[in-house]
Amino acid sequence: MDVYAEYQKKLTTPEKAVSMVKSGDWVEYGSFTGQPIALDKALAARKDELMDVKIRATTATRMPEIVKADPEAKHFIYNNWHFSGLDRKLHDQGACWYIPMLYNELPSYYRNFLDVDVAMLPVTPMDEKGYFNFGPQVSHTKAICEKAKKIILEVNPMIPRCLGGREEVIHISEVDALVETEWAMPQVRSVPPTENDNKIAGFIMPELVDGSCIQLGIGGMPNAMGKIIAQSDLKDLGVHTEMMTESIVDMVEAGRVTGARKRFDTFKTVYTFSMGTQKTYDFLHNNPSCAIYPVDYVNNPFVISQHDNFIAINNCVELDLFGQVCSESSGTRNISGTGGQVDFTLGAYHSQGGKSFICLESTYQKKDGELCSRIKPILTPGAIVTTHRAMVNYIVTEFGIVNLKGKTTWERAEALISVAHPDFREELIKEAEQMGIWRRTHKLAL
């Protein structure tokens, strides 16, 4: 096959490419920083001639044109696997719907259950062998392509070429149409850590050893953790994480990360997607020390557990005295998604020497200034349980760190109240007494 002739044959305009979409179709928009722009705009322009076109995406970094064109969702129905701040606002307006998932299972949902009529995916320019690279969002992309009846690629020279791993490329022979565009990668800046984030990170640091394999979630606390690790004297750390962030780049550049002690993927920094600044994308581009894999490998609890001394660090929104963790909603309001917290909580615990940490600031402030505890007697009515109470290992706040594994309901209540904000501890004790899960012991110092 003459791949360049094939390329020219399939090259078209965005307007002609999206003519493949029909009313009633399921259309895939890719994920994270890899979502189409020119094709989205061209599809939005067809609003009046289409009905019931259902779009699936993951974590939007910009407002989709199809939502701008049809905010009442009469023509385009926008669905999302994991909400960004923008998706959350669209959901509040009735313009976006959430799709529950366990992230490590997502490729299997496509292969076993989902219909894909048209996939629209951004990629790097084609190489001399006829392959396009998906860039920093392999995740479940190949599974989408396997199910898609039609595949349209948006070729963009500004996307970093991220080495695998596996399932990081697609061949020209698998593609139905191509369009050429040029837009800058979305810049997702790190949330600056607060004083409490730094305190929480300080409680976790003594749990790390030379050769630990690290997973960091998103937010100020994981960023604080990354900065402290970068400035530490830890040696030969490994990285096996769903999200590649700038704080991990800092750890690598500081010499903390070599991957030398990983049992497999030795010397490789493994991830399934990246959202960061240009510094992160430049680091990933053609970097053979990094390997991007599909999420059913990276987030597979069995794969995670094979790494010794695995350390998983994630955030949550609130938790209750039973140890149930909510990380994705505020009451009934969906604010993010399950993501990989369950995957890494399970995998890290089953690692030899591994530990899982779920972190939270002990309080939050309402708009009217009222201070509220994030540790509650029971979860806020309607709150989604992300991590089952029996899965939870360590809970960390700015007031300390406690293990919940093997503890009775009253021991859990004591442990959690001990790391709650002092202003709320007496109130939590009264609630625990009423719920029948309180037995004061001499270990609890209020």
Using DSSP, state whether 240 is helix, strand or coil: strand
Fold category of 3-180 in CATH: Glutaconate Coenzyme A-transferase (3.40.1080)
Please list the residue range(s) of the chain that carry CATH number 3.40.1080.20: 195-435
Residue 221 confidence (pLDDT): 83
Whether 205 has a binding-site annotation, put simply, is no
Q: What would the CATH number be for the domain defined by 195-435?
A: 3.40.1080.20
Percentage of the chain beyond pLDDT 70 is 99
Whether 340 has a binding-site annotation, put simply, is yes
Residues sharing a CB contact under 8 Å with residue 255, sequence separation 6 or more, in sequence order = none
Whether 244 has a binding-site annotation, put simply, is no
Are 278 and 155 within 8 A, CB to CB? no
Peptide bond into 202 cis (omega under 30): no
Does position 105 have pLDDT exceeding 80, yes or no? yes
CA angle 209, 213, 217 (to 5 degrees): 115
Report the catalytic residues. Answer: 242
Are 345 and 393 within 8 A, CB to CB? yes
Structure tokens at 395: 């809970």
Does position 442 have pLDDT exceeding 60, yes or no? no
* pLDDT class of 445 with cuts at 50, 70, 90: low
CA distance 289 to 307: 18
Please list the residue range(s) of the chain that carry CATH number 3.40.1080.10: 3-180
Whether 217 has a binding-site annotation, put simply, is yes
Does position 243 have pLDDT exceeding 70, yes or no? yes
Q: What are phi and psi of 276, to 5 degrees?
A: -165, -155
**Side-by-side strand order, sheet with 97-98:** 97-98, 76-80, 53-58, 26-31, 116-123, 148-155, 177-180
Write out the H or E segment, with its range, that includes residue 197. Answer: helix 195-204
In this prediction the pTM is: 0.95
CA distance 375 to 362: 7
Using DSSP, state whether 55 is helix, strand or coil: strand
